[in-house]
Structure 1
Amino acid sequence: MEKYTFRGDTINCKKKFCDEASKKPSGANMIEEVVMKSNERGRLDLPCAQSTVIEMKEGFTGLNFTLPAPRTAAPNMIPSVYLPSCLKSKSRSTSKVVCTYYKDKALFQGGSSDAVLLDDIVGLSVENESIKNLSEPVRIRFHHSPLPTNHSRRCVSWDTRQYIEVNWRYDGCETVEIHDRETECSCNHLTYFAILVQVEQKATVRHLKALTFITAVGCAVSLVSCLVLFYWLCKRRGKKTQISLVHRGLVVAIFLLCLFFILTGALANVGDEIVCKITGSLLHYALLSTLCWMAMEVFHTFLLIRKVFNSTLPPWIFYLGGFGLPVLLVGILLLTGDIYGKRSIVPSDDVNNTYHMCWMLKNEKSLLAHYIINVGLLAVVVSSGSVMLFVVVREIRNRPDWKKIHVAFLSIWGLTCLFGTTWSLGFLDFGPLSEAILFLFCIINSLQGFFLMLRYYALEQMKKKDRSISDGSSSGSSKQHMLQTHEKS
């Protein structure tokens, strides 16, 4: 009849389907279900995705293939997938697996606001099965442009059957950085996989190169000074006295600390993880031993000044406190695991030139151990050393020669190095003077062995001068008494 007019309009069904799927949270599932229910095998193209349907039959030994991609995609930028043999169910003669490549991220919007997905997303699913905890992982290799050095890349997955909203998760996948243009995801389940890129707010250190150079030079000078001082302490008359024992223990500990600090940077660059773990634990042991021997200096001075004991203590007590306690602490941390290894420090003026050292790792366990053991022991040594320094100064301030400026300075400076109070600068690294404090800390403490040698040399020179002035007098030198108050009762 003339009043009825029929018009037939063409509709792009695939495009309409993709448009509808992109508007729904489960749009990716819709696409995979349509592909799975079709009787197609091999490649299947949609405007929003490209799929490959593979049948796993009896005797399936695994398959490595390159995903289908849009015609405009560069061939060397298309992801590849390895399907392990354990993916084939033993209860079925054949299983159908769908591998889908999504170039459009519109189906996967959401998740972390401070991270960005790379363009390529791969979906893997097996017909009527939920695949988890594979004995051999599936491997998806992504190709991408080089990322800036302050960007981290992590493999992520999202199971839309478990999470309605987009929720990219790190668990279940390991990230293998092949090189700057290629990343492989090794995952023990099937779902949707992608690379999540996040800008790392790296903590940087200002003037790192200068601080490292200053500390290395100071440690080298202290190494030589400790060798000279140890020889003098062993050569002197009365070398078996208790005060000489304590001095030698501190000199050996400082020598080890400087030695391992010089070696840690070189070994971090050329050695493997095991070598770096051993070096880091030895450096930590040397640091703890230095602090413990400073505590022994304070303890022994307290005994001498207060005359707590009429007889000297057995040497093993000092060895146990100076060398034994650090062994126990480092041994416990080694048994705990994941404490020592390669530590990276980023200079603020050149973030691409990272400095590596063998030390405590940057994780929760290492941070807890650092605050409890390192900072705790340092606080004990500095506080007790400061108290003992005050007590010694009060004891000798009324001596006749104390009013001479150079004698007072040498006395206070020498005892400050012995008692470890110069390490208190580490607690002042904040505020507008933090950089100046940091330079002072590195200069003074790296040269500690050198300062101790100068102190001993000054004492020896003053002894010789006093002996020549007294002309054999048995009264002794007031200067010697004043400078060595912690060595004499």
Structure 2
Amino acid sequence: MECWKALLFVGLLGLLREGLTDCDLGFTTSDGSALCSDDDECKGGGPCGKHAKCVNTIGSYYCHCLEGFVGKRQVNFASAQCTDVNECTAHTDICGHAANCTNLIGSYNCTCHVGYTNTTSDPGNCTDIDECKEADLCAGNGTCENRDGSYRCTCSEGYTNYGKDRTACSKLDCDSFNGNGGPAPSLGGLADILFMMRNSCLALSDPSTAGDGKVLLQVRAADTETPSHTFRTQTNPDSILNPPARVLHLGQNLFTATDAILSPGPLESGEDVSGLLVAVENALMLIGPQLKDGRTKTTTTETDLEIAVQRGKTAPTGPIHLTNENATLDTDWTTAAGMASYPGFALAALLSYKNLEASVNRSFDGLTGHEKDGVSPSFQISSKVVSVVVSNPSTQNLSSPVNITLRHLQDNVESAQLSYICAYWTESGAWSTDGCYQLQSTATHTVCTCQHLSSFAVLMALYDMEHTFGLQLVTKIGLTISLACLVLCILTFKFCRSIQGSRTTIHLHLCVCLFMADLVFLAGISQTKPVGSCRFVAAMLHYFFLGVFTWMLLEGVQLYRMVVLVFNASIRPLYLFLAGYGTPLLIVAISAIIRPNGYGTDHHCWLSLEHGLIWSFYSPVCFIIILNVFFFIITVWKLAQKFTSLNPDLSKLHKIKAFTVTAIAQMCILGLMWVFGAFLFEEGTTVEAYIFTILNSLQGALVFIMHCLLSKQVRDEYAHFLSCVCTSQKKRYSDLSSTNPSSSQSQGSRSGQNTGESKI
């Protein structure tokens, strides 16, 4: 009985122990213990995630969102639903009025505005900076006034910050626009520019005036660009300037006034050119600082402008590249700003004049030191004129050179007689090359590097061909032979009775014109001084060479009439003279009236290649050659038909055939000479000079050979004349007294033969 009770007690105790070790959720038992203890779920970071804090409770836990996050209290969940709080929108004044609020994950940041600083640990405690206590921000030329978050420079009289309150005061030089001792006020329209710019300059001295250079430039909206945007609207001029500054003649602007000066045509003097260039450059120095940061472009009928402006507390650095259709500027902001006191801005401008080269194609007397092999060149403008303007006050000796690439007016093939020179226009109205050098030249562009700034252009230096002793000797000997042969031709055509007729008359006057042309050419082609005599020589050459081709045309017409017209093939002498001498005279007279200065150049007394005057010679010559080719084709065709007819007059046809062959050969010789002489007087090479000289020299000899020595009638006349000269006086008297009938019959027979050509 006692044993049974003991066993029952032990069993009940085991059952009790098993019931106590089954703990609820959130509790666990320790090793060897029958008691349940709380489980710490937050141990090791817990399940709440990185934006919440885990809090343990008896038998459970909950997640509490960290500061900067918000969410519901979550119990016995795997993670808390915490989201970031945007303090910048929840509390609009959390950073105060002087800072910008930036939301962060679980926090925020306050950034003070420009002009404010934070010296405490409080992120919203931004206080005003007193800039006026720092360096002399107004450059000593004005009064610095501190403002909430900023400052203002009130400039003294004669100084301005161009309406930019936080820009140092710069000195104004309004006297540069008064015309006293500066730009020539006599140039029409220049007074408007000077008046407008002077009033604008004076208005800038008024601190209440807010200037804007776009008014003076009158820039189109699409032409004004900044790095980040493009202006889309045209600013109203009346809304920019206060009433004291409206005297600027806002209806006008710099470049409309400049166009009005340049549009009528070239300026008359170098002083006028200098006056305009100086006035425009000074105006750009006044207008540029009033423009916004970035780049401004404007184009008119006479100008093409690009301005770059940069502002800041420190001088800008980096390259500058400005370009337009005719020029490119490469420099840097350090050169543009200069080494002097920085005024708070820097500018660089490239201005190209579209039609000014005609006004400055002179004043080359000051250019020296460009001789080549002892030959001094002649100069002419080979690019557009461009002006380079920078804010650097010391532009006469730059710390580093600027590179200017200029496009040539015409593409030129490289030649030993041609070179390019970089030059600038001086205020005295002349070209100079001091401080400017050529870096590279191609057929289309020249790159210039200059140590100072002004208005620039590329000059083309033309060197005369070296007229060697051999070329001069060939010219003199050849033309002398040609003149002698032409004299023989003239005497032959004048006094040889057996060949008289319309064709002989044409040959006679063709030789007269060619003789006069060669004589004037030999005596005066290089006599360029005085100018009046040179122009007269050029006009005479123009007239007589045209006369040669006109008489050649009349020969083609005569041959055409001989073949096509059976009867009355001759042309009346009066008509021949009117056409042969009147037509060239009319052409020369019209040319001299239209382009009187085109007769005579600096090197030769011939027609100038400028302004197209040379075509008053080549156009008639080309027309005559084309017309003669037509006549000769018809003539040959008709001759071929006549040779195949049933009863052709072979003797007459053979003579016309010979006439046609000599006429075609004559046309080829005269035309070929002027193919090589087309541009010889300006750009010809030595080879072209020899070919032209030889052909020109041989013309008279070839005419004598073709029309005299190859003609049987003329040879018979020469033989008869020589026999008469060589026969003694006594022999001739005996021959004259002789009544030999056979001799008389022989002379009659020869006379009958020699009348054949005269009939033709």
Shift of the 196–477 alpha-carbon distance from structure 1 to 2, 3 Å rule, reads farther
Q: Matched residues, percent identical?
A: 17
| Match status 1:54 vs 2:175 | yes
| Match status 1:139 vs 2:274 | yes
CA distance in 2, matches of 1:50, 1:308: 94
CA distance in 1, matches of 2:585, 2:559: 24
Alignment partner, residue 158 of structure 2: 40
CA displacement at 1:253 relative to structure 2: 0.9
Alignment partner, residue 84 of structure 1: 185
**SS of aligned partner of 1:333:** helix
| Match status 1:128 vs 2:220 | no
Alignment partner, residue 366 of structure 2: 179
C-alpha RMSD over aligned residues = 5.8
CA distance in 1, matches of 2:718, 2:136: 108
Which runs of 5 or more residues in structure 2 are unaligned? Answer: 1-117, 122-126, 140-152, 160-167, 202-246, 262-266, 288-295, 300-304, 307-349, 369-423, 430-452, 679-684, 724-741
Alignment partner, residue 35 of structure 2: none
Which runs of 5 or more residues in structure 1 are unaligned? Answer: 15-33, 42-46, 65-80, 99-126, 143-154, 188-192, 345-355, 402-406
CA distance in 1, matches of 2:478, 2:519: 11
CA distance in 2, matches of 1:168, 1:38: 35
Instruction: Say whether the 8 Å CA contact 1:222–1:450 is kept in structure 2.
Output: yes
**SS of aligned partner of 1:220:** helix
Instruction: Say whether the 8 Å CA contact 2:199–2:248 is kept in structure 1.
Output: no
Instruction: Say whether the 8 Å CA contact 2:546–2:617 is kept in structure 1.
Output: no
For 2:180, which of 55, 63, 72 is the aligned residue? 63
Instruction: Say whether the 8 Å CA contact 2:546–2:621 is kept in structure 1.
Output: yes
CA distance in 2, matches of 1:422, 1:85: 56
CA displacement at 1:222 relative to structure 2: 2.0
CA displacement at 1:292 relative to structure 2: 1.0
CA distance in 2, matches of 1:376, 1:288: 12
Alignment partner, residue 347 of structure 2: none
Alignment partner, residue 261 of structure 1: 521
| Match status 1:237 vs 2:355 | no
Shift of the 296–337 alpha-carbon distance from structure 1 to 2, 3 Å rule, reads same
CA distance in 2, matches of 1:304, 1:448: 26
CA distance in 2, matches of 1:236, 1:230: 10
Q: What TM-score do you get using the length of structure 1 for normalisation?
A: 0.55
CA displacement at 1:321 relative to structure 2: 1.8
Q: Bigger shift: 454-463 or 357-366?
A: 454-463
Alignment partner, residue 443 of structure 1: 694
Alignment partner, residue 456 of structure 1: 708
Shift of the 237–428 alpha-carbon distance from structure 1 to 2, 3 Å rule, reads closer
Q: Deviations over 1:164-213 (max 9, x none)?
A: 524411446832525117844699xxxxx9422226497x9988766676
Alignment partner, residue 556 of structure 2: 298
CA displacement at 1:249 relative to structure 2: 0.8
CA distance in 1, matches of 2:550, 2:608: 23
Shift of the 340–450 alpha-carbon distance from structure 1 to 2, 3 Å rule, reads same
Shift of the 447–12 alpha-carbon distance from structure 1 to 2, 3 Å rule, reads farther
For 1:363, which of 594, 610, 628 is the aligned residue? 610
Matched residue type, 1:373: P
Shift of the 371–340 alpha-carbon distance from structure 1 to 2, 3 Å rule, reads same
Alignment partner, residue 104 of structure 1: none
Instruction: Say whether the 8 Å CA contact 1:304–1:487 is kept in structure 2.
Output: no
Shift of the 391–358 alpha-carbon distance from structure 1 to 2, 3 Å rule, reads farther
Q: Select the structure of larger CA radius of gyration.
A: 2
CA displacement at 1:289 relative to structure 2: 0.6
Q: Deviations over 1:397-449 (max 9, x none)?
A: x9999xxxxx9xx98985555x423234358769xxx9988855542343222
CA distance in 1, matches of 2:686, 2:638: 32
Q: Which structure shows the bigger proportion of residues in helix conformation?
A: 1
CA displacement at 1:265 relative to structure 2: 2.6
CA displacement at 1:295 relative to structure 2: 1.7
CA displacement at 1:365 relative to structure 2: 3.4
**SS of aligned partner of 1:221:** helix
Q: What TM-score do you get using the length of structure 2 for normalisation?
A: 0.38
CA distance in 1, matches of 2:686, 2:758: 36
Alignment partner, residue 622 of structure 2: 375
Alignment partner, residue 529 of structure 2: 270
CA displacement at 1:141 relative to structure 2: 11
CA distance in 2, matches of 1:445, 1:387: 29
Aligned residues: 370
